[in-house]
Amino acid sequence: MNGPHDLGGLHGFGPVAPERNEPVFHAEWEKRALGVTLSCGAFGAWTIDESRHARENIPPATYLSASYYEVWIRGLETLLQRHGFVSAEELATGHKLEKGAEPKRVLKADMVPAVLAKGGPCDRPLEAAPRFSAGDRVRTANFNPATHTRLPRYARDKVGVVETVQGSYVFPDDSAHGKGENPQWIYTVVFDGVEIWGAGAAPGLTVSIDAWESYLEPV
């Protein structure tokens, strides 16, 4: 979707200025925000793609004024309500008022190291061969969906060259909306800077993205 999270190439937001010696957390509550988000994700009620889409749907003024972990918590509130774990009234009062949905599993302290080490692999086998090969010229899709997508706005309807076939992975555009994993091949596609940014692009600049197969068509 076209939301406040998709800022690539937009003007007016100032330079990217990495913080020197940046700490892992800037405040104690951020540690808790991370822990609560991961613990709730372990319920098994939603996918990582649905969680991303929940954050994307935060109103732009709220999203752009929020810190990183505030965005996480606001997205989590949406997911917990959507799947029946809490009510809006419970979130407002900070107290449990009724029995909510039962999680499929509960992440306990002694389980955390093994769960984090395992991660959440999203590569899936496919019988069909990749449609494209390294060196193929391709054009990205030109769309503006209201639903989730991992194709950024700046890279839509652009011509590039396939550099690598990365493998086959869960298709997030479907996974975010409960339509199944529907895996597709992913390709690293390289674009000339002028193709992306126009005549003002720095000489020799290239931009690479990883694109699912349905985002691409042959040129």
Q: Model confidence over 166-205: pLDDT tens digits? A: 999 999 999 999 999 999 999 999 999 999 999 989 999 9
216-218, strands of its sheet edge to edge: 206-212, 184-192, 159-169, 137-140, 216-218
**Nearest to 155, CA basis, from 187, 193, 204:** 193
Q: Across the strands, what pairs with 137?
A: 161
**Nearest to 6, CA basis, from 110, 112, 134, 150:** 150
CB distance 213 to 185 below 8 Å: yes
The reported pLDDT for the residue numbered 14 is 86
What is the average pLDDT across 33-42?
96
From residue 3, give the alpha-carbon distance in Å to each of 41, 173, 203, 212: 23, 15, 30, 20
> What gap in Å lies between CA 87 and CA 158, rounded to an integer?
44
The reported pLDDT for the residue numbered 147 is 96
Domains, the chain, ordered by start? 28-118 (1.10.472.20), 137-218 (2.30.30.50)
Give pLDDT tens digits for 91-118.
999 999 999 999 999 999 999 999 999 9
The reported pLDDT for the residue numbered 16 is 85
pLDDT over 90 at 11, yes or no:
no
The reported pLDDT for the residue numbered 8 is 87
The reported pLDDT for the residue numbered 192 is 97
